[in-house]
A = this chain, B = another copy of it.
Amino acid sequence: MPSRHQYHVLHDHLKRDIMKGRYSVGDVLPSEHELAAQYDIARSTVRNALASLQREGYIEKKRGKGSIVAAARRALGILNYEGFSASAGRSSVQTKSVEEPKVAAWPADFYFELDAATQASGCIRFSRVRMIDHDYVMWETSYLPNQNLPRFVQLYRTKQSFFGFLARQYHLEVTGMRQEIKAMAATATVAKHLKLKSGTPILVIHRQYSTNRQGLHMYSTLYCNTNKYAMSNETNKNH
């Protein structure tokens, strides 16, 4: 078991308390000093946990006041690296499988550059559509190197949490992400998966994930219907 970091534990505790309504919008969380005392950890560790919650949009910090529970986003906070479920936050999400994991060659015109070893190892690919309240909002195809991930194709199913599966099965964790975003007109294929008209403006996002395993990157391409749900993120000076 990859022993969880203390800031991660605190982050999950606070997040669960917020989701469960123990704190409601506008409430002030215990101060950083208090949390440090309660959990018997250093304040910098508390700050690390709060920074994650802020990135995910659960809290706002006000100097002199405290950490305040923020209103649920109208938009999907998927522009941060924390998987889709964490980002969608307080909306109800459904997943539809498009293609279960299979081994293939890397696409010839792959968006990111691949090193020789990754290229040679081949590629595992799977694909799914995300819905919120019966609206088709995102078609996602993910790619990962077929390397040191024994039986991934047999074990993983697209309805499970991808990041959660990787953590449980391989102690593999996503540590960061790089992404590029463009607008385009929906092609026939995209239109089919998202149930919209060809030519509708959509977002396409190309992502590269970094992991705690050096040299192992994963990739996703996301096509997003932003008609109803915009994509959002927030960035701050200190995190």
Contacts and interface: CB of A to CB of B under 8 A. Distances in A.
B175 A202 contact: no
Interface stretch (A15-23, A148-156, A182-190): A182-190
B183 A201 contact: yes
Interface stretch (A24-32, A115-123, A228-236): A228-236
A63 B214 contact: yes
A79 B235 CA distance: 9
Contact of A239 (B182, B234, B238): B238
Interface string A58-95: 00001110000000001100011100000000000000
Interface string A190-215: 00000000000111001000100010
A177 interface: yes
A167 to B, nearest CB: 13
A237 interface: yes
Contact of A176 (B52, B210, B227, B234): B234
Contact of A234 (B74, B178, B238): B178
Contacts of A181: 79, 181, 203, 226, 230-232
A235 B176 contact: yes
A51 interface: yes
A55 interface: yes
Contacts of A158: none
Nearest to A62: B214
A180 B115 CA distance: 34
A184 B180 CA distance: 17
A202 B203 contact: no
Nearest to A223: B183
B177 A80 contact: no
A48 interface: yes
Given A182-B226, A182-B230, 5 more contacts: A63-B214, A178-B232, A178-B234, A183-B202, A210-B236
Interface of A: 44, 48, 51-52, 55, 57, 62-64, 74-75, 79-81, 175-185, 201-203, 206, 210, 214, 224, 226-227, 230-239
